[in-house]
């Protein structure tokens, strides 16, 4: 029985206090193969974070992406968000870590003047309005050291309507198996319309190449979610 992740947005989706409180359970129940996806992101980051390395996490939410990494010797972590509830959670969670800096930034128009070995975007780019995404991707590219890595986790849509309907229905079936009612699934779907705007996998790949990334590879995918 789940008693935390009962969030019924009245209008558009917002990362408010109710969402922040239920966020961890929400992701575990909503993201297929969630723990393996998180482990893969951490493993990739580790490969690029040497002693004294720098990691930027955009849309850091409650800091799950850096939690397994934060004790790496002499590494520094910059966490970006602009939800007051998520910023408060990040500040509280990492208050004792001198190597973690929390930044309140609007990714539509702002970025850090920091050179990084790794930039993470875990289910974040999809919430950035489409007209601002290419500029953000170029800023991410420019922020990376030579031979650095950008890890992108995104929800994607099918390349055709038939495929998209198929993978979406499979995804909703998984959510139902994890305890969500049809009402909860549809309320969340409606609240996210126009807020979460995914691209196809090929569109994400092309956008990354247009931003300057030369090696683009999908390394994990479950239906309509992928890591690249």
Mean pLDDT of 65-69: 96
pLDDT digits (tens, 9 = 90+) for 193-215: 778 899 999 999 999 999 999 99
Owning domain of residue 141: 17-227
CATH number at residue 132: 3.40.50.150
Say if 2 falls within a structural domain: no
Mean pLDDT of 153-165: 92
State yes or no: pLDDT of 18 exceeds 80.
Answer: no
Say if 21 falls within a structural domain: yes
What's the pLDDT score for residue 2? 39
Mean pLDDT of 65-83: 96
State yes or no: pLDDT of 3 exceeds 70.
Answer: no
What's the pLDDT score for residue 1? 33
**Percent of the chain residues past pLDDT 90, beyond the cut:** 66
pLDDT digits (tens, 9 = 90+) for 121-146: 999 999 999 999 999 999 999 999 99
Say if 4 falls within a structural domain: no
State yes or no: pLDDT of 7 exceeds 60.
Answer: no
Say if 11 falls within a structural domain: no
pLDDT digits (tens, 9 = 90+) for 85-122: 999 999 999 999 999 999 999 999 999 999 999 999 99
Say if 12 falls within a structural domain: no
pTM score, two decimals?
Answer: 0.89
Say if 205 falls within a structural domain: yes
What's the pLDDT score for residue 30? 81
Say if 80 falls within a structural domain: yes
Say if 188 falls within a structural domain: yes
Cα 68 from Cα 190, distance rounded (Å):
34
Q: How many domains does the chain divide into?
A: 1
Cα 9 from Cα 18, distance rounded (Å):
10
């Amino acid at each position: 029985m789940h008693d935390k992740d009962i969030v019924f947005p009245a209008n558009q989706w917002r990362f408010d206090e109710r969402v922040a409180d239920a966020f961890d359970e929400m992701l575990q129940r909503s993201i297929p193969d969630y723990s393996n996806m998180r482990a893969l992101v951490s493993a990739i980051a580790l490969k690029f974070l040497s002693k004294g390395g720098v990691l930027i996490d955009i849309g850091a939410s409650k800091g799950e992406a850096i939690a397994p990494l934060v004790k790496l010797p002499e590494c520094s972590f910059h966490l970006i968000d602009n939800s007051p509830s998520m910023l408060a959670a990040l500040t509280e969670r990492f208050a004792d870590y001198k190597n973690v800096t929390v930044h309140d930034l609007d990714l539509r128009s702002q970025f850090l003047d920091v050179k990084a070995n790794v930039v993470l975007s875990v289910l974040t780019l999809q919430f950035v309005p489409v007209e601002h995404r290419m500029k953000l991707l170029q800023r991410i590219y420019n922020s990376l050291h030579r031979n650095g890595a950008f890890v992108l986790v995104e929800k994607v849509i099918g390349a055709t309507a038939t495929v998209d309907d198929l993978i979406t229905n499979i995804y909703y079936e998984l959510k139902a198996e994890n305890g969500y009612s049809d009402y909860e699934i549809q309320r969340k779907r409606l609240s996210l319309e126009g807020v979460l705007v995914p691209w196809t996998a090929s569109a994400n790949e092309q956008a990354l190449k247009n931003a300057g990334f030369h090696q683009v590879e999908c390394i994990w995918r479950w239906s309509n979610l992928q890591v690249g």
